[in-house]
Amino acid sequence: MRFGTDKFALQQRLWHLATRPRPVHKLEGILLPTALCPLAPEALFPGGSPKRALELGSGWGEYAVECLREDPDLSWVAFEIKSDRLRSALRRARRAGVLERLRL
């Protein structure tokens, strides 16, 4: 078994793969900031919902999806900066059938 610089090179390569940016802007339900301006809830959720929620640091999306599943009158805007977590939240919302009421 060889260690030393080979092990370090492998660690560096794995770190590079784990932290490389992945394009999330092409996924349905992802909003990217284009300008510093307020967003109208009607523009985010056509058809409207009487109740809205805002979550900062949404993580993997478990809480948002569970709340949306329990309350059909709720719309949810969640902020998350990690692309793997955004993808997970989108998958969860799609499987639960609540994607139309979730914006990331």
Q: Does pTM top 0.75 for this prediction?
A: no
Report the phi/psi class of residue 48: left, alpha or beta, with left for phi > 0 and alpha for psi in -120 to 50. Answer: left
The number of angstroms, rounded, from the C-alpha of 54 to the middle of its chain's C-alpha atoms is: 13
Spell 38-47 as b/e; 16+ CB within 10 A means b. eeeeeeebee
Instruction: State the number of CA atoms in the 13 A half-sphere of 44 facing the CB.
Output: 23
Yes or no: say if 63 and 55 are a contact pair by the CB < 8 Å rule: yes
The angle that helices 62-70 and 83-96 make with each other, rounded to 10 degrees, is 20
Q: Which domains does the chain have, with CATH numbers?
A: 24-32+42-103 (3.40.50.150)
Q: What is the pLDDT of residues 58-85, one digit of tens each?
A: 999 999 999 999 999 999 989 888 888 9
Q: What is the pLDDT of residues 9-24, one digit of tens each?
A: 777 777 766 666 555 5
